[in-house]
Structure 1
């Protein structure tokens, strides 16, 4: 892998993108909220969609597709408003301790489909204009013109996804831990309200960005 990339660039690239990934944002907050409401295992399906979205955005930002997307804001408007509205809807149902994502001690089960979780993560990742702008500004400078283009881009995107996944796990684990601390009959509604409020906040954040 290291034959395709400048090691000195890599030494700067890894801490830079780890810092960016670990910083609280839409996807990390979503991971935390889902960790609280449905647990780490099922949150993994959201992570799959989110990582696919991040990979798509990162690749597109380098090959020029992002320029087309940024010049046609209508595409973003549709994704942002639909995605934001759906997240707000989920947040409200969780806040009311209703719906498929709300924690219910009596049933102790969740009926959220894997496909919907993955789509939710994917839409959140690609519908954030700041994510596109960030990759356009930050990723290309790490491309060494003296090395083969495709292999080093593949290495950089692999590392981005690895760092992103690690941070998602950290946030989701934190949410799951908080869920276990509060998971009793007196605190289950509070837990749903916290997770639901975070979900509503993400939806508003996404729509207004």
Structure 2
């Protein structure tokens, strides 16, 4: 049986993951649009920077966030609202989920037949109307797949979170951090088993949903 305290950890994890994905989605869509539709010098470099959190140690990402939001950093004015708080955990999770979300949205956008957009333009539709009525609806399976995959990545985030906002029960202690804390306690194996089972179930459900949505894009594109 999962205790009330452990359910609180699950609810906090879902909150952090949901806020992280909702806040990251507009940024991820804009970056995916630029990478999928624009050709410009430095495009490869931008692509590499976007995917950097996938390859550098998460602790490094957390350290960079700590420097950015520390008093005296570029975002130091916000430090009181994010350091050692769940909002900071959401920022860390969002940064780590960004590359996967950009990749999924980009695949969705690249799967849209440009001839449909060109036909709409020749019929007098404005650029924004084409995007709103053709591009976005056709790319929506990829966008949703990216959102679900980003959520799965967010709820499993550990390294950047513990480095950036520490492991504070009730504030930043999501499922991965709670599992880590239980591992450090004598007799905590039963807690580890329960929380690990919940974590695996949530992540597996999100991954299955992401792949199912990606397959609906019409070209069998995979975001994994």
Query: TM over 0.5, yes or no?
Result: no
> Greater Rg, structure 1 or structure 2?
2
Larger RCO (alpha carbons 8 Å, 6+ apart):
1
TM-score, length-scaled by structure 2: 0.38
TM-score, length-scaled by structure 1: 0.40
